[in-house]
């Protein structure tokens, strides 16, 4: 009885939409006026101590284990929880502060990357687009396909880099190589990609040979901090800074400063928090160990402290929500193939991850920011932004 009272008190203000709750003993209650938009089913009790200690992990694990089920749209449920100002999932500041103390050394960073990215290229191939691009797309129209949006994104970043033939380009966290290969083919630059993922490293090398670009593109299996005695005209990083960690942000920008030539330009594409940096305990445990979402203000301060010139900042928040919606749909469409190698708990984990991230972008909990900054002044950049849209 005490558990039921606790649950009812906890759930009363958790959703911004009308919801029906079914408890483990068959009782149902409704919160909010009007027809319920969805139904949440508790098949068993989640210990009160677990919910109070870390609601993110307790809720996430309960969904993974089938203790919680949803009738209706999972993303809509999560969006409703994020939009509720009194929702219990938003109260995780203690956990975020605790995670900031994690030190992402070179060894730990490699282990963290392997945890997420080395679960098999075949798995990612099932639901990513043909370019194998695992970051926010760029939708010029709402009807763009995922492949078109990813190609748009690469083209948009390459324009921001203001590349010229013969220049050198470093991609920190190059993924499966789409950006460096496109840059070499389209702009005639010498491109270097680095990654800590052995699966990505192997595939990028295959692509370089397939495209006959061995003279202009290379990939290294190396931590960015281990790059020495080399300078680049341009440096780009797409979706990698989230893995750096709070305590290592100064180290990242110091290294970019060291690797850039005077007058060089860098584009940073990263998930950001609108107010203060944060980590999510469930994401850290099951999806991205050691991850940290920096605040926009933190990154602007780092850019300033390293005496870079910030020349442009763009938000692509809605683009990432749409990208994640397509990934989620693709994932659901290939479950038969996924089940050949992954169990149901893994499937529920990834379903929750993709939908929770989309809901976070949609509600503005997190953002996607693209920064352009230069080492010293650079007057070769066009006077207006028109060059980005030609």
**Is 99 within the bounds of a domain?**
no
Residue 100 lies in a domain: no
- Domain residues for the domain of 8 are 2-91
Report the 10 Å Cβ neighbour count for 212: 9
Domain assignment present for 98: no
Residue 187 to residue 213: CA distance in whole angstroms: 13
278/365 Cα distance (integer angstroms)? 10
For residues 178 and 146, is the Cβ–Cβ distance under 8 A?
Answer: no
Which pLDDT score, from 0 to 100, does residue 10 have? 85
Confidence bin at 340 (pLDDT 50/70/90) = very high
Same domain? For 84 and 113 the reply is no
User: Over the Cα atoms of the chain, what is R_g?
Assistant: 22
Does residue 101 belong to any structural domain of this protein? no
pTM: 0.91
pLDDT digits (tens, 9 = 90+) for 163-211: 999 999 999 999 999 999 999 999 999 999 999 999 899 999 999 999 9
Q: How many CA atoms lie within 13 A of 279 on its CB side?
A: 28
pLDDT tens digit sequence for 235-261 = 999 999 999 988 999 999 999 999 999
Of 249, 189, 207, 201, nearest to 225 by C-alpha is 249
- CA 30 to chain CA centroid, nearest Å: 34
**Boundary (domain end) residue, out of 60, 91, 122:** 91
- pLDDT category of residue 269 using cuts at 50, 70 and 90: very high
Say yes or no to pLDDT of 275 above 60. Answer: yes
The total domain count for the chain is 2
Give the active site residues: 357
Residue 88 confidence class, pLDDT cut points 50, 70, 90: low
Q: What is the predicted pLDDT for the residue at 97?
A: 40
Confidence category of residue 85, pLDDT binned at 50, 70, 90: confident
pLDDT of 361 over the 60 cut:
yes
Angle among Cα 81, 87, 93 to the nearest 5 degrees reads: 115
The structure tokens listed for 53 are 């200690």
Say if residue 259 is in the same domain as residue 176.
Answer: yes
Q: Which of 57, 91, 125 is the last residue of a domain?
A: 91
User: Does residue 124 sit in helix, strand or coil?
Assistant: helix
Q: What is the per-residue pLDDT for 90?
A: 52
pLDDT value for 92? 42
CATH code of 272's domain: 3.40.50.150
Within this chain, do residues 253 and 343 fall inside the same structural domain, yes or no? yes
Whether 55 and 201 map to the same domain: the answer is no
SS3 (DSSP) at 55:
helix
Residue 168 and residue 278 in one domain: yes
280-289 burial, b if ≥16 CB within 10 A, otherwise e? bbbbbebbbb
Q: pLDDT-derived band of residue 279, with 50, 70 and 90 as boundaries?
A: confident
Asked whether the predicted pLDDT for residue 353 surpasses 70, the reply is: yes
288 HSE (CA, 13 A, CB side):
17
């Amino acid at each position: 009885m005490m558990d039921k009272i606790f649950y009812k008190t906890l759930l009363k203000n958790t959703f911004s939409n009308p919801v029906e709750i079914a408890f483990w003993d068959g009782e149902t209650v409704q919160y909010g006026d009007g027809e319920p938009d969805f139904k949440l089913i508790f098949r068993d009790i989640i210990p009160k101590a677990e919910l109070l200690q870390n609601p993110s992990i307790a809720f996430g694990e309960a969904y993974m284990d089938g203790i919680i089920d949803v009738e209706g749209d999972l993303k809509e449920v999560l969006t409703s929880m994020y939009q509720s100002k009194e929702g219990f999932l938003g109260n995780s500041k203690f956990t975020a502060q605790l995670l900031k103390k994690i030190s992402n050394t070179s060894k730990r960073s490699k282990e963290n990357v392997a945890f997420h990215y080395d679960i098999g290229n075949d798995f990612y191939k099932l639901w990513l687009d043909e370019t194998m691009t695992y970051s926010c797309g760029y939708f010029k129209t709402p009807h763009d396909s995922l492949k078109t949006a990813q190609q748009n994104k690469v083209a948009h970043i390459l324009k921001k880099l203001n590349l010229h033939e013969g220049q050198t380009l470093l991609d920190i966290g190059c993924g499966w190589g789409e950006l460096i290969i496109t840059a070499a083919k389209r702009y005639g630059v010498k491109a270097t990609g680095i990654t800590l993922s052995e699966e990505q490293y192997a595939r990028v090398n295959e692509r370089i040979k397939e495209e006959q670009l061995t003279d202009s593109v290379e990939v290294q299996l190396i931590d960015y901090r281990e790059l020495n005695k080399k300078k680049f005209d341009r440096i780009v990083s797409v979706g990698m800074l989230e893995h750096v960690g709070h305590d290592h942000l100064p180290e990242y920008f110091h290294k970019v400063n060291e690797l850039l030539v005077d007058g060089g330009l860098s584009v940073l594409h990263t998930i950001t928090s609108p107010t203060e940096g944060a980590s999510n305990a469930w994401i850290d445990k099951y999806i991205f160990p050691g991850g940290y979402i920096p605040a926009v203000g933190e990154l602007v301060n780092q850019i300033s402290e390293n005496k870079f010139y910030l020349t442009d900042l763009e938000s692509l928040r809605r683009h990432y929500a749409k990208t994640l919606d397509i990934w989620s749909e693709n994932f659901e469409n290939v479950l038969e193939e996924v089940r050949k190698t992954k169990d149901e708990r893994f499937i529920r984990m990834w379903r929750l991850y993709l939908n929770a991230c989309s809901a976070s972008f949609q509600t503005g909990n997190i953002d996607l920011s693209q920064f352009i900054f230069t080492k010293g002044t650079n007057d070769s950049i066009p006077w207006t932004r028109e060059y980005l849209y030609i």
